[in-house]
């Protein structure tokens, strides 16, 4: 008697599970501390293979308080995008620094926002969640007075010897660094921002969301990952949801144009935070900690 073939539903499930399993292994690899330093040149301020022009939110969505236009619920106090944007904006203090407690609160809302958008986001944000929790332990820990802002954290960690670059010999055992954790979150924020921006502004008949977010990965994260990780990520993006589904989940109950405009404003907020953080890290020589 021959062995029966598995039912078609199991075959379909197996095919869909392959990319997700590969991406799960990818994140386990990353969480084990296996990130390699990027190949950027010493002294280079920005460590990205390409930079898009500054994202002009006003051009995509119009004035934020245009008279006669009702703000979509997703941008309101109870909306997903609104809850994510407020703490990130609050993290940008008038002195040009980044307040860590607000930055991490923004990341928690970003994780809540991204999780429903698909399984790939869920895997990625689970890794970000662990880093947010690790940095929050410092913000609220015994050394909390040194972790009020990015500048204060970097100054204190440098003073106590926590900021040795990879490969630099140290007489003391390696200790975790809040600045290194923030750098990894910073890179992930760039990927999130570029992904959402391209979904919001992409042509209706242009590349799908999976292609655009895969390209964003190639810009923001791939330069810091070894070849095997890059290939695993490329396969994982094959299971990415489509643009229409992402827009509906991001701003439910609105027309496509309104959802795009709202998502563009959310991406613009993330870009403001990224640019501020990038400048602070670069000025302190911290872009190569991991």
Per residue in 101-127, pLDDT tens?
999 999 999 998 887 766 666 656 777
Which of 48-57, 175-184, 263-272 reaches the highest mean pLDDT?
Answer: 263-272
* Whether residue 94 has pLDDT greater than 90: yes
Residue 159 confidence (pLDDT)? 93
The Cα 200–Cα 247 span in angstroms is 8
Binning pLDDT at 50, 70 and 90, where does residue 98 land? very high
> For the ranges 13-27, 44-58, 143-157, 265-279, which has the lowest average pLDDT?
44-58
User: Domain for residue 109, yes or no?
Assistant: yes
Mean pLDDT of 166-181: 66
Residue 126 confidence (pLDDT)? 72
Into how many domains does the chain fold?
Answer: 1
Binning pLDDT at 50, 70 and 90, where does residue 166 land? low
The torsion defined by the Cα of 105, 110, 112 and 116, in degrees rounded to 10, comes to 180
Structure tokens at 45: 């301020």
Q: Looking at per-residue confidence, does 135 or 34 come out higher? A: 135
Residue 55 confidence (pLDDT)? 34
The Cα 117–Cα 133 span in angstroms is 22
The Cα 57–Cα 61 span in angstroms is 6
The Cα 105–Cα 87 span in angstroms is 6
Binning pLDDT at 50, 70 and 90, where does residue 263 land? very high
Q: Please give the mean pLDDT across all residues of the chain.
A: 77
> For the ranges 9-18, 198-207, 281-290, which has the lowest average pLDDT?
9-18
* Whether residue 205 has pLDDT greater than 50: yes
User: Domain for residue 35, yes or no?
Assistant: no
Q: Which domain range does residue 220 map to? A: 78-165+174-290
> What pTM did the predictor assign?
0.74
Query: Which residues pair with residue 149 across a beta bridge?
Result: 99
User: Domain for residue 123, yes or no?
Assistant: yes
The Cα 283–Cα 47 span in angstroms is 13
Binning pLDDT at 50, 70 and 90, where does residue 69 land? low
* Whether residue 289 has pLDDT greater than 50: yes
User: Domain for residue 57, yes or no?
Assistant: no
The Cα 200–Cα 60 span in angstroms is 9
Residue by residue, DSSP assigns the chain as -PPPPPPHHHHHHHHHHHHHHHHHHHHHHHHTT-PPPP-PPTT-S---S--PPP--HHHHH--TT-TT-PPPGGGSTTSHHHHHHHHHHHTB-TTS-BBHHHHHHHHHHHHHHHGGG-HHHHHHHHHHHHHHHHHHHHHTSTTGGG-SBHHHHHHHHHHTT--PPTT---SS-----HHHHHHHHHHHHHHHHHHHHHHHHS-TTS--HHHHHHHHHHHHTGGGS-HHHHHHHHHHGGGPPPHHHHHHHHSTTS-HHHHHHHHHHHHHHHHHHHHHHHHHHHHTT-TT--
Structure tokens at 154: 């970097």
Query: Which residues pair with residue 98 across a beta bridge?
Result: 92
User: Domain for residue 209, yes or no?
Assistant: yes
The Cα 278–Cα 184 span in angstroms is 12
* Whether residue 264 has pLDDT greater than 50: yes
Please say whether the beta carbons of 185 and 131 come within 8 A.
yes
Q: How far from 32 is each of 9, 49, 56, 218, 260, CA to CA, in Å?
A: 34, 25, 37, 21, 37
* Whether residue 236 has pLDDT greater than 60: yes
The Cα 209–Cα 118 span in angstroms is 12
Residue 151 maps to which CATH number? Answer: 1.10.3520.10
* Whether residue 19 has pLDDT greater than 50: no
Q: Looking at per-residue confidence, does 83 or 10 come out higher? A: 83
* Whether residue 149 has pLDDT greater than 60: yes
* Whether residue 53 has pLDDT greater than 90: no
Please say whether the beta carbons of 81 and 266 come within 8 A.
yes
Mean pLDDT of 44-50: 33
Determine what percent of the chain is predicted with pLDDT higher than 70.
69
């Amino acid at each position: 008697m021959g062995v029966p073939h598995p039912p078609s539903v199991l075959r379909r499930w197996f095919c869909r599970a392959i990319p997700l399993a590969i991406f799960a292994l990818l994140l386990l690899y990353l969480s084990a501390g296996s990130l390699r330093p990027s190949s950027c040149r010493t002294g280079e301020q920005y460590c990205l293979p390409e930079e898009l022009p500054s994202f002009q939110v006003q051009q995509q969505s119009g004035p934020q308080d245009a008279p006669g236009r009702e703000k979509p619920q997703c941008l309101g106090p109870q909306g997903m995008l609104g809850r994510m944007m407020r703490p990130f904006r609050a993290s940008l203090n008038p002195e040009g620094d980044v307040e860590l407690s607000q930055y991490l609160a923004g990341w928690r809302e970003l994780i809540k926002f991204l999780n429903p958008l698909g399984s790939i986001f869920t895997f990625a944000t689970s890794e970000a969640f662990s880093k947010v929790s690790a940095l929050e332990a410092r913000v609220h820990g015994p050394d909390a007075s040194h972790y009020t802002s990015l500048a204060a954290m970097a100054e204190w960690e440098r003073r106590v010897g926590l900021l040795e670059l990879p490969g630099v010999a140290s007489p003391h055992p390696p200790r975790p660094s809040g600045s290194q954790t923030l750098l990894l979150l910073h890179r992930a924020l760039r990927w999130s921002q570029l992904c959402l921006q391209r979904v919001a502004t992409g042509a209706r008949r242009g590349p799908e969301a999976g292609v655009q977010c895969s390209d964003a990965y190639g810009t923001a994260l791939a330069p810091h990952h070894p070849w095997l990780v890059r290939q695993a990520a490329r396969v994982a993006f094959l299971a990415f949801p489509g643009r229409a589904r992402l827009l509906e989940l991001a701003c439910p109950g609105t027309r496509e144009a309104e959802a795009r405009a709202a998502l563009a404003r959310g991406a613009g907020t993330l870009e403001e935070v990224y640019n501020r953080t990038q400048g602070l890290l670069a000025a302190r020589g911290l872009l190569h900690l991991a």
